[in-house]
Structure 1
Amino acid sequence: MRHSFRIQFILLVLVCACGVYSANVTIQSNPPINGGFVQTTPQQTVSLTCTVDNSAVAEELQWFRNGQEVSLNDGNRLNTSHVCVEPVTREDSGVIFTCQLRSDASVKASIQLEVQYPPTLGDDEEMWVEEKSDAVLSCDVRAYPPVSVVWKKEDELLDLSTSTYRTSNNGITATLSISNVKQDVHQGVFSCEANSTFSGVTKKSFSITVVDRKMKFPLGPAIAGVVVILLTILLATISRWEKIMKCFKKD
């Protein structure tokens, strides 16, 4: 009975000891972490610090960026490790950094970068479009958070229900396609407006001038016609060659 009690006591001590020395890792950041995300903007610096907690021995740390291991100096691995992102770029948005124990990959912590930036719609454009042809207007709307886009003419919302207009937006480029351009309908100033919760409203304008349609000379058929005529003359000349030569013979 006493022997059984001693075994239970030893097991209890071991369980307690394991609980006390169960290592875990935590990540701190500058700027601070908010719900697992670090919000920042391009050209800024993000500093990440990973620390081992509750460990009775020195633990080696590893960093991963989107699953790819980050190279660390020898003095930047034991118990505390630092990673710096400088300068932050738009391509860093959505990147996940993970810190873990080399001895136990299940002991880890992660954060995600949230890089906020406005769209760069591009410079205003002047366009000359032939009547009855098609025109395509495009804006670079890549941004974070994503923006909403509206199209206007003379600062009035376009009626996109007509078959004349067709729009698309893949999160990178927003386009407005105009089919069968007419001077009395489509000449004027169009604009795309991007509304961002981060940077407000930005606009790009397109000044469209509709010109008369040019008559294009059908060069290919014309050349083919000339060749046919020349060949016809040549064949006719050959067929009548003997008669022509008789005109030059002396009696």
Structure 2
Amino acid sequence: MKVLVIILLLLCCVSPLKAVTIESCPLAIGSLLKTEVEETVTLTCKTDAGIEPSNSELQWFRNGARVNLAQENRQSRSNLCVQSVKKEDNGVVFTCQLKGDASVNGSIKFDVHYPPDLNDTKEVFVEEKDDVVLSCDVRANPPVALVWKRDGKVLDLTTGRYKATNNGITAELSIRKAERDVHQGTYVCEVTSSVYGVVSRTFTVTVEDRVLKFPVGPTIAGVVVVLCTIVLALISRRDKIIKCCKRN
């Protein structure tokens, strides 16, 4: 009985727990909020009953950088609106905290879904024996699976002087020393998304005859040298030239 009394007395002496909570639209799952590009997200931060009104001023931070809000939007309840969500907002963390006690805070992380920027066609012209690079923007969330095709078939990257690279942002197919019989055709950068399905970019590659390029620079330099030589020769023989002109 004495132990129970002591516990009750201790509970009475303990201050209410201080906390802030964040509500969102659309709803977050825990501290993760899934949204898409161009959508609008509203975040609402509230103080709990354990926080006195005089100490209830709130602050918002975006990845640690202070977000400036009107004074009337800081007391006990604070709203933050993110309009037209962008790709760059993926992974961003918004934190709401008490101005007077940074340890009392809550955070929410953005998980922005967006497809790769594809679905177009490009014409590519390359001279024989020149190198060419086909490039696709494959940046997406969630990440996509990529395959290169040529004339409707999956491209064999082990033959034909092909090299493929993919850093998660840009995928490239390099063709070294292009030949008409080997490399001319229709190439497709095809990506598959678990959310957005299949999208692609098509490249129509035309291998042209090699054009003999006229060496403009060296030719101009040669002409200048010849003209300078002629001028110097005329100057060195001007006396003879003048005498010949007078005789004539």
**Which of the five TM-score ranges fits, normalised by the shorter chain?**
0.7 to 0.9
Please state how far the C-alpha of 1:146 moved relative to its aligned partner: 2.0
Partner of 2:100: 103
Report the count of equivalent residues. Answer: 242
**1:171 aligned onto 2:168:** yes
1:177 is paired with a residue whose SS is strand
Paired with 1:167 and 1:196, the residues of 2 have a C-alpha distance of: 20
Question: Does the 8 Å CA contact 1:188/1:207 hold for their aligned counterparts?
Answer: yes
Paired with 2:132 and 2:221, the residues of 1 have a C-alpha distance of: 33
TM-score by length of 1: 0.82
Paired with 1:229 and 1:56, the residues of 2 have a C-alpha distance of: 91
Paired with 1:157 and 1:103, the residues of 2 have a C-alpha distance of: 61
**1:51 aligned onto 2:23:** no
Cα deviation code 1:114-141 (max 9, x no counterpart): 1101111263111221111111111122
**1:215 aligned onto 2:215:** no
User: Which deviates more, 162-171 or 33-42?
Assistant: 162-171
- The residue correspondences of 1:175-186 to structure 2 (distance < 5 A) are 175-186=172-183
Paired with 1:75 and 1:161, the residues of 2 have a C-alpha distance of: 65
Q: 2:138 aligns with which of 134, 141, 155?
A: 141
Cα deviation code 1:133-165 (max 9, x no counterpart): 111111122211122222111121112224711
Question: Does the 8 Å CA contact 1:39/1:116 hold for their aligned counterparts?
Answer: yes
Q: Which runs of 4+ in 1 moved over 6 A?
A: 231-250
Please state how far the C-alpha of 1:97 moved relative to its aligned partner: 0.8
Partner of 1:113: 110
2:101 is paired with a residue whose SS is coil
Partner of 1:198: 195
Paired with 1:82 and 1:249, the residues of 2 have a C-alpha distance of: 100
Code of the aligned partner of 2:50 = S
2:217 is paired with a residue whose SS is helix
**1:188 aligned onto 2:180:** no
Please state how far the C-alpha of 1:202 moved relative to its aligned partner: 0.3
Code of the aligned partner of 2:32 = F
Question: Does the 8 Å CA contact 2:163/2:173 hold for their aligned counterparts?
Answer: yes
- The residue correspondences of 1:1-251 to structure 2 (distance < 5 A) are 13=9, 15-17=10-12, 19-55=14-50, 57-58=52-53, 59-121=56-118, 123-162=120-159, 164-226=161-223
Question: Does the 8 Å CA contact 1:40/1:113 hold for their aligned counterparts?
Answer: yes
Cα deviation code 1:215-235 (max 9, x no counterpart): 112233334445566667778
Code of the aligned partner of 1:200 = G
Please state how far the C-alpha of 1:168 moved relative to its aligned partner: 2.2
1:184 is paired with a residue whose SS is helix
Paired with 2:16 and 2:238, the residues of 1 have a C-alpha distance of: 114
Paired with 1:73 and 1:56, the residues of 2 have a C-alpha distance of: 21
Code of the aligned partner of 1:131 = E
Paired with 1:18 and 1:53, the residues of 2 have a C-alpha distance of: 19
Please state how far the C-alpha of 1:80 moved relative to its aligned partner: 2.1
Question: Does the 8 Å CA contact 2:119/2:199 hold for their aligned counterparts?
Answer: no
Measured at CA, do residues 18 and 99 of structure 1 come closer, stay the same or move farther in structure 2, by a change above 3 Å? Answer: farther
Measured at CA, do residues 197 and 226 of structure 1 come closer, stay the same or move farther in structure 2, by a change above 3 Å? Answer: same
1:124 is paired with a residue whose SS is strand
Code of the aligned partner of 1:209 = T
TM-score by length of 2: 0.83
